[in-house]
């Protein structure tokens, strides 16, 4: 379970949110510029909140009052970024292995093969990210985040950089990943149709505040 209760001032914009995410997929849903990506960055440990608390499975990741701020590499939270952010100097296979190298775990060919098959990226393993299409790149990014065995998976608009056809092509993989991996996920998006297919809970954000929390029926309510 993830509990987030943070304040952050970003220039003129002030973010002030609190929500809880349990098992399954929680969507952070709202128009662009409502601070969704900033929240993800704070949970990942890449952006420091001004104050508040972030707690994951009873481990305090951030506590402004107590001065706790666990470094991102110690959080074991997988992140898929909008632009994939694959390492250009490493092959797809080495990108997928990167998280395992950094945690010093032994190779696990069974899990590796399973994830590769799940995302259908076996034919890409020897290529470099520069030679992949946008959709292929995001599938590798999913695999890379999954293979680090995260406690929580953060997906920051993973389909936003793709056109409609590519999105339709990737969504089934995302659903398979959700049903297969059983890792709790936070899914950031401003696309209601996409969220409806992936998420089971919705946190609706508006201008840096939580406007509503509930099931996917929230997606149909108009913004004020």
Partner 1 sequence: MLDLSPQDWTAVLLSLRIAVVATIVALPFGIAVAYLLARKSFWGKSLVDAVVHLPLVLPPVVTGYLLLITFGRKAPVGAFLADHFGIVFSFRWTGAALACGIMAFPLMVRAIRLSIEAIDRKLEDAAATLGANRFWNFLTITLPLTLPGIIAGAMLAFARALGEFGATITFVSNIPGETQTISAAIYTLTQVPGGDAAALSLVVVAVIISLAALVASEWFARRAAIRLHGG
Binding site for partner 1 (CB under 8 A): 44-46, 71-73, 75-79, 81, 83, 85, 87-89, 98-99, 101-103, 127-131, 144-145, 148
- CA 94 from chain centre, in angstroms, equals 21
Q: Which residue carries 């990108």 as its tokens?
A: 95
CB of 124 to partner 1, least distance (A): 12
CB of 88 to partner 1, least distance (A): 5
CB of 168 to partner 1, least distance (A): 26
Phi, then psi, of 155 in degrees rounded to 5: -120, 110
Q: List strands edge to edge, sheet with 68-69.
A: 68-69, 59-63, 51-56, 2-10, 13-21, 209-214, 201-206, 25-29, 185-189, 152-156, 77-80
Residue 21 or 79: the one with the smaller Cβ distance to partner 1 is 79
Residue 144 or 201: the one with the smaller Cβ distance to partner 1 is 144
Residue 96 or 219: the one with the smaller Cβ distance to partner 1 is 96
Residue 123 or 200: the one with the smaller Cβ distance to partner 1 is 123
- How many other β-carbons are positioned within 10 Å of the β-carbon of residue 83? 14
Residue 94 or 190: the one with the smaller Cβ distance to partner 1 is 94
CB of 82 to partner 1, least distance (A): 10
Token pair for residue 103? 């945690």
Residue 137 or 201: the one with the smaller Cβ distance to partner 1 is 137
CB of 89 to partner 1, least distance (A): 5
CB of 42 to partner 1, least distance (A): 12
For the chain, the C-alpha Rg in angstroms (whole number) is 17
Q: Which residue carries 């590798």 as its tokens?
A: 140
Token pair for residue 220? 């149909």
Residue 20 or 70: the one with the smaller Cβ distance to partner 1 is 70
CB of 3 to partner 1, least distance (A): 20
Cα–Cα distances (Å) from 43 to 60, 126, 171, 222, in that order, read: 11, 32, 24, 28
Where are any strands of DSSP class E within the chain?
Answer: 2-10, 13-21, 25-29, 51-56, 59-63, 68-69, 77-80, 152-156, 185-189, 201-206, 209-214
């Amino acid at each position: 379970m993830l509990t987030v209760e943070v304040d952050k001032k970003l220039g003129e914009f002030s973010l002030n949110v609190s929500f809880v995410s349990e098992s399954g997929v929680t969507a952070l849903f709202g128009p662009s510029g409502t601070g969704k990506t900033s929240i993800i960055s704070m949970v990942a440990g890449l952006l420091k909140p001004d104050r508040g608390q972030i707690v994951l499975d009873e481990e305090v990741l951030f506590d402004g009052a107590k001065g706790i701020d666990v470094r991102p590499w110690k959080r074991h939270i997988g992140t898929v970024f909008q632009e994939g952010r694959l390492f250009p100097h490493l092959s797809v296979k080495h990108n997928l292995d990167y998280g395992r190298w950094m945690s010093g775990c032994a190779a696990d060919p069974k899990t590796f093969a399973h994830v590769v098959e799940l995302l259908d990226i076996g034919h890409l393993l020897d290529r470099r990210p520069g030679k992949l299409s946008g959709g292929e790149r995001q599938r590798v990014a999913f695999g890379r985040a999954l293979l680090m065995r995260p406690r929580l998976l953060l997906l920051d608009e993973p389909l936003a950089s793709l056109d409609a056809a590519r999105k339709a092509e990737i969504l089934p993989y995302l659903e398979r990943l959700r049903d297969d991996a059983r890792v709790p996920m936070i899914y950031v998006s401003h696309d209601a149709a996409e969220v409806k297919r992936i998420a089971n809970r919705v946190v609706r954000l508006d201008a840096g505040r939580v406007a509503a929390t509930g099931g996917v029926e929230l997606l149909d309510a108009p913004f004020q």
